[in-house]
Amino acid sequence: MRYLTFALAKGRLAEQTMELMEQIGMPCEEMKEKSRKLIFVNEELKLKFFLSKASDVPTYVEYGAADVGVVGKDTILEENRNLYEMLDLKLGCCKMAVAGKESMKETIDNMNIIRVATKYPKIAEEFFLEKKQRTVEIIKLNGSVELAPIVGLSDVIVDIVETGSTLKANGLTVLEEICPLSARIIVNRVSMKMEHSRIMDMIGKMREARGGL
């Protein structure tokens, strides 16, 4: 039997995913040990796991370096890779939204050019083009995006909103919701054929463990 390889977005989502893997009888003891290893193996079940930056997970899966990936819908939309999205795990639920100062509610529609700061240039550009029929100036940032409208770098932001407390603490508000987000199981297209029963069996167990998604 060949190894089934998993790419996980490092952080809380990877931890929640490994709890789920344990629940469905596909655990990885090696991953619980503190070490600087990058790849973790369950020899008995022929499983391999590695952690990567969230935005790299779809890349590993598209090229087949990982058969399966677990990553947020935000990253899947932004990366737009050639792969199958198989299951919504309903973990890490939040939303993508346009946010800015309250005063933007009245002014935004009359603006000639809207400057949008975001970690998600593709999602932002597509939203304004398709839903608003507007071209916008995208300013790509890599974090703490809420700063941009406060210091005058942009008019609005496109970012993830979970509890809304970051926006509130910075005097910003949701202007428009773009889409709901949550963690998804993604699968390489060839792996889906070669390892069909193994992957479908795992997805069935995950669905059951998550309360019949």
Minimal CB distance residue for ligand PRP? 143
Length of the chain: 213
Asked if residues 35 and 144 have their Cβ atoms less than 8 Å apart, the reply is: no
Binding site for ligand PRP (CB under 6 A): 143-146, 159-166
- Nearer Cβ to ligand PRP (56/62): 56
Cα→Cα distances 37→22, 48, 56, 70, Å: 20, 12, 18, 19
- Nearer Cβ to ligand PRP (2/168): 168
- Nearer Cβ to ligand PRP (116/145): 145
Distance between CA atoms of 127 and 156, rounded to whole angstroms?
A: 13
Q: Please report how close the Cβ of residue 25 comes to ligand PRP at its closest, in angstroms.
A: 31
Q: Please report how close the Cβ of residue 167 comes to ligand PRP at its closest, in angstroms.
A: 6
Q: Please report how close the Cβ of residue 94 comes to ligand PRP at its closest, in angstroms.
A: 7
- Nearer Cβ to ligand PRP (25/180): 180
Distance between CA atoms of 159 and 94, rounded to whole angstroms?
A: 10
Q: Please report how close the Cβ of residue 125 comes to ligand PRP at its closest, in angstroms.
A: 18
